[in-house]
A and B are shown apart, each in its own frame.
Chain A
């Protein structure tokens, strides 16, 4: 039975047809995948379904009846719940209050705390979640927060649930937990729409799939059982997707650019040894929480180094902040937290890229000392160079970075470090939430940067990515280095070795 249908929906933006006759059918008791590359129209479609955008053509049908949603509130009351990619819990409130936020139970105008607790507990129980409704949401882990958001989406008695990239920022174990919840929702007769870039997950939990490409549906409600992974990828990218082949690259035996010996930090690292030579990609692997990003931040002076020595180009250094790292040591850091730390969403692409190089572009105004400005022309030429080189797709350099897709934002986040001509680049989770083709392009790019002599420290939780790129893999757990493997680029043997290192000693430690 079809619960919800978007029938031949069009959505026009000035100069572009974002959705072109897209049809999406959601059946009761089924999990439907919505796939497509960045910019294919997935988010636009979700915004149309939830009433954030008004469609320019086509119809939305709920139980066969045509519906018009003027706002997300209207779609929610009609029984369409949505969990967005961004966290939407209110920090100062408890789990229970957040779950029931859309219709808090009250008695005589005051919030009825008892009923908040009991009703929230009911929804949590429905999802088999063992979370205390009285807990402040700030104390939840990312994955728990995600599950609470699902409970919140269900609390409006929704029969259709839209999950936009729910696993982008949680660990595989936590994802399994989420999938059990999805499975349960499905068995209860609800309809779930699952948007993800991780095809393995899609094949694991979804029944049917709709694939979008350039705003049109190239596959409507195909049964996943009849499809292979490659077929789906081909549909998404619109051509036969070839496995990435990278040209050979050799690491010389030049002196290391970056050396850590016996480093300890205020966030708990101890005895960390690490070297990165020019032209080398060193992979830093570990599970979420192993302390990899924290190590990177300590290297940049954002956390205190309490023991050991950091040497850059053979000289012992004490880096005070990012500015110091950039100006005096030519170290750059591409953060994992793209939206909050990597890109200035509300600023133009041009400023996002040029931010690290204004110093270099400065021109004196007349002969007055200390009075200088950034010449617009030089700046836009520099920006245009990187936009061109990295293939950043924008209408104009003045476009706000927040309006770009994740992949293009990531390119912008990287571009500023290339512009700054850094020689040591720490790249943290470069391809989270990025589609297959852009991912390949990123891998080629990182490979190439190393081939041109940059020393790269690559932090990633994506094992295939690590095995594709790294020359050596350093494995970290509990803020300590657990071992090092020279990469053979053979997935099976490498993954076994790395995983063995991750688990080595855990039983003893526990």
Chain B
């Protein structure tokens, strides 16, 4: 007995001959699933580039750095996805990474922290700066676009100032033990008995896997994740259902800051230096992955897999065109065109499936 409703009410509510509701939303045809479309596209493009340039499959020179890129930008994408889930944006995603790495750099340089202790400090700094953005948004009610844009400018000025005060070349020179190794380690360096992993898969990618598992678990299984999505769908309805929406806004931005810090760390490790310009190229790709992957800009729906696949698609295109000898300017033109086509075929699919009366998700 889940509520005090008697037999009579139950009977009255069950009309055997009541009109059948259009059973929509539950049954989406497979071709309307964005993730499967993306997966096919990534595999097909990978195969195409491999046929045109067999060097595309070179493990050390191409696949390894490609996977390292995908891993890092997936984390960047997840950082943006967290705020998109509540219908917000984080324009300071790159600068939050830079800020966190600045703190990490200070911890290595001045306090002689170990590699992982420095990472932890960075994650805490990222979480804090994200939470601050969220707090300002929740308190003032100003649009997240404006608040994070302002924060971005603030950090843009602050970070180089700190660097010039503390370092000689706008980069921290102290490298903790293990940082250089982490850059080049692949799964081949992890062996269980005689079986070793593939040399094509960088160990750095493990950070992305961990981030995906944790974020995926939060959104699919926990109360927090559900409350974030409900807030993203309708703040009013969420408030009237007893969800602490202001706190959820802060949480989403804190998660975003934390993931931005992780991405910043991955970039610092793979380039081998902690400098003020970390994260400069994060902002636009941070939107590409989630949106290609089906995360709604308006909030309320996310896809961790989609974010990874969307990121993979852009990275594969970039790398493939690069190998085909396309110059940087033309590369961006092609990239833009391919993304436009990808997004519009997706839109066509949505419209087609809506025409059939099914609802994409």
Contact = CB atoms under 8 A, between A and B. Distances in A.
B18 interface: yes
Contact of B240 (A322, A382, A386, A419): A322
Interface string B1-12: 011111011101
A395 B233 contact: no
B318 interface: no
B240 A347 contact: no
Interface stretch (A34-42, A109-117, A153-161): A34-42
A201 to B, nearest CB: 22
A39 B13 contact: no
A17 B23 CA distance: 11
**Which of B3, B15, B236, B359 gathers the greatest number of chain A CB atoms within 10 Å?**
B3
B19 A40 contact: yes
A444 interface: yes
B258 interface: no
Given A14-B357, A213-B19, A391-B14, A374 B4 contact: no
A445 B9 contact: yes
B355 to A, nearest CB: 6
Contacts of B13: 389-391, 411, 441, 444-445
Nearest to A348: B25
Contacts of A449: 3-5
Contacts, number: 201
Given A340-B234, A441-B12, A441-B13, A18 B22 contact: yes
A347 B230 contact: yes
A38 B229 contact: no
A46 interface: no
Interface residues of B, number: 51
Contacts of B22: 13, 16, 18, 39, 44, 403
- Bin chain A's interface residue count: 35 or more
Nearest to A381: B2
A346 interface: yes
Interface in B1-60: 2-6, 8-10, 12-15, 17-27
Nearest to B223: A358
A24 interface: no
A355 B24 CA distance: 21
29 contacts: A39-B21, A53-B355, A214-B19, A239-B17, A321-B239, A322-B242, A323-B243, A325-B242, A333-B240, A344-B230, A346-B234, A346-B300, A347-B300, A355-B230, A355-B241, A355-B243, A358-B227, A359-B223, A372-B222, A373-B221, A395-B25, A395-B26, A396-B27, A416-B241, A440-B12, A441-B13, A444-B12, A445-B13, A453-B4
Interface of A: 13-16, 18, 36-41, 44, 53-54, 213-215, 238-239, 247, 300, 302, 321-323, 325-327, 333, 335, 337, 340-348, 351, 355-356, 358-359, 362, 372-374, 376, 382, 385-386, 389-391, 393-396, 398-400, 403-405, 408, 411, 416, 418-421, 437, 440-441, 444-445, 447-449, 451-454
